[in-house]
Chains A and B, each alone.
Chain A
Amino acid sequence: MSTVPADLKYTRSHEWVRTLADGTVAVGITDHAQHALGDLVFVEVPEAGRAVKAGEPCAVVESVKAASDVYAPLAGEVTAGNPKLKEKPETLNTDPYGEGWLMRLKPAPGALTGAALL
């Protein structure tokens, strides 16, 4: 049974959003999503400085048989991609809500409140 932490916000496409103390947000994919994808062998995270629109593909998670896009849950500017995933993509399988985060975003003005998050 996959876990769904109550303190996070979610998208319908299985991304999660965590608001951090400095006003930026961390973004990852849910435990359910990593289960469905299977063992991940490669993760491509966005470069810091990239501006993204809500719903824009901004990362790729690749398992042995498939590669899937991850969509930006809200508009903003990428402040960091998770550097650990390059060497250890499996972190996303083992700790999807913690060490397996994909990117940090600085939300565009009003983006966090306006985003259609669950």
Chain B
Amino acid sequence: MAFIPHTEADVAAMLATIGVAGIEDLFDEIPADLRVKSLAGVPPELNEMQIGRLMTERARADGAPLAFIGAGAYEHHIPAAVWAITTRGEFYSAYTPYQAEASQGTLQLIYEFQTMIARLTGMEVANASMYDGASATAEAALMAVRANRKSKSARILVPTTLHPHYRKVAVTTAANQGLKFEELPYCTAEGVTPSASLARYDGQDITALVIQQPNFFGRLEDVDALTDWAHARAILVIAVVNPTSLALLKPPGEWGTRGADIAVGEGQPLGVPLCSGGPYFGFMTTRMEYVRQMPGRIVGRTLDTAGHAGFALTLQAREQHIRRAKATSNICTNQGLLVTAATIYMSLMGARGLARTAAAAHARTRELVAGLTRVPGVHLAFSGPYFHEAVLQLDRPVAPVLKSLSKRGILGGLDLSGYFPELGDALLVCATETKTSADIDRYRAGLSEVMQAARAA
């Protein structure tokens, strides 16, 4: 059977029907400079042995650097059992199960995933997952506009301390659907969003407030005060959270007096390796009150006609195969394989294991900050508590320092100067439980040498 079922005649007939000369013309709205004409360095054809050799050589070029970069993607230890089980034939599928009813096992796994995520976030109901943390944030903003029926403005307050990529994705996804994202300033001394800065919005029609905890700088926001401020004004609260941190921090379901209304986040820390930025998965939870406004699939537990427990997709009238253009979302999916890995990861770690991981990551980051700030010309940018990331400020530009460190096999963090120029020569660093005291000392010694050499030059 041909892999592509359309014959040339089929294609010609389809193009003639819509009055287009060629397939190329279908893409003409994509600006020419954004289109890939050809891929450099890719030979026309290679056999398996040759491609294996080529990829091994290229992988070797990456080396095995010691990474202290976080910024939304975190290196955690993944027990070997996670991917050994995930890649079993019974589970191994690239995508969401379209004939879900065919496999009770898959449905049960998703149901367990939803239960774990709902408990971790302290929320009432979770969906079967989203693409990633950024798109889940965008979907949460769209959902808030549907759920907050008292507000007509579609104005969403977004702290500057939200991951800049998340803000970009949210604007790209939702701005053309009439949502207006307004940026909340942060305190440059403390790296958090002061609730006093919200006073200027008193009496205005605001639909939702986004709060990321820990925020992009790793700092802890005053989530209780922000949540209560929003709820006193009928503003919905969208929490953006790191799942590992929830083993230690107050879950969004308990923020303030009433808890957050929607909680989303990036699921990658739960058993998904770092791999050139993806694939990852997002999670999304809410109150039962808003479940019909939540996008994505939901698996429910039920009884069959003989009274046996079973699992089925539920509340499908929200979804695109039924509601079409009026579905809660036409641009989301569940990430079946990654959710499988996360569910196995969470079940192997357990609540205690996850709490120990989170505590170790926090302790390592404190150790890292203590070590690096001993280096002359390096200081901590913000006072106050942080989770497993912190912003450092250097007395010289960050990019050349990072370049010198990478030559020593150390990925020293994320240069913030392009994202937050007001912070000057700022560097976001992260350490998780994967880093040892020797690793941290290697970074400190390397940074010390690089800074000294730069000063001498």
Contact = CB atoms under 8 A, between A and B. Distances in A.
Main secondary structure of the interface of A (DSSP, over half): strand
B200 interface: no
Contacts of A66: 317, 322
Task: Name the residue among A64, A65, A67 with the largest chain B CB count within 10 angstroms.
Answer: A67
B292 A44 contact: yes
A69 interface: yes
Main secondary structure of the interface of B (DSSP, over half): helix
A79 interface: no
Interface in B146-164: 149-150
Contact of B150 (A47, A63, A65): A47
B35 interface: no
Contacts of A69: 326
A63 B316 CA distance: 10
B76 interface: no
Interface in B305-333: 316-318, 322-323, 326
B149 A67 contact: no
B150 A67 contact: no
Q: How large is the interface on B (under 10, 10 to 19, 20 to 34, 35 or more residues)?
A: under 10
A62 B314 CA distance: 13
Contact of B322 (A42, A44, A47, A67): A67
Contacts of B150: 47
Contacts of A62: 292, 317
A42 B292 contact: yes
A62 B315 CA distance: 10
A47 B149 contact: yes
Given A47-B149, A47-B150, A63 B317 contact: yes
Nearest to A61: B317
Contacts of B322: 65-67
Contacts of A47: 149-150
Interface in A65-108: 65-67, 69
A44 B318 CA distance: 13
Interface in A41-68: 42, 44, 47, 62-67
Contacts of B292: 42, 44, 62
Nearest to B150: A47
Interface in B8-39: none
Contacts of A44: 292
Task: Name the residue among B150, B318, B323 with the largest chain A CB count within 10 angstroms.
Answer: B323
Nearest to B318: A67
Nearest to B327: A67
A65 B316 CA distance: 7
Contacts of B318: 67
A106 B7 CA distance: 59
A44 B292 CA distance: 10
Interface in B107-149: 149
A66 B322 CA distance: 6
A66 B292 CA distance: 13
A39 B235 CA distance: 34
B317 A65 contact: yes
A37 B268 CA distance: 41
A65 B323 CA distance: 10
Given A42-B292, A44-B292, 16 more contacts: A42-B317, A47-B149, A47-B150, A62-B292, A62-B317, A63-B317, A64-B317, A65-B316, A65-B317, A65-B322, A66-B317, A66-B322, A67-B317, A67-B323, A67-B326, A69-B326
16 contacts: A42-B292, A42-B317, A44-B292, A47-B149, A47-B150, A63-B317, A65-B316, A65-B317, A65-B322, A66-B317, A66-B322, A67-B317, A67-B318, A67-B322, A67-B323, A67-B326
Interface of A: 42, 44, 47, 62-67, 69
Pairs of residues from A and B, 4 with the lowest C-beta to C-beta distance, nearest first: A67-B317, A62-B317, A47-B149, A67-B323
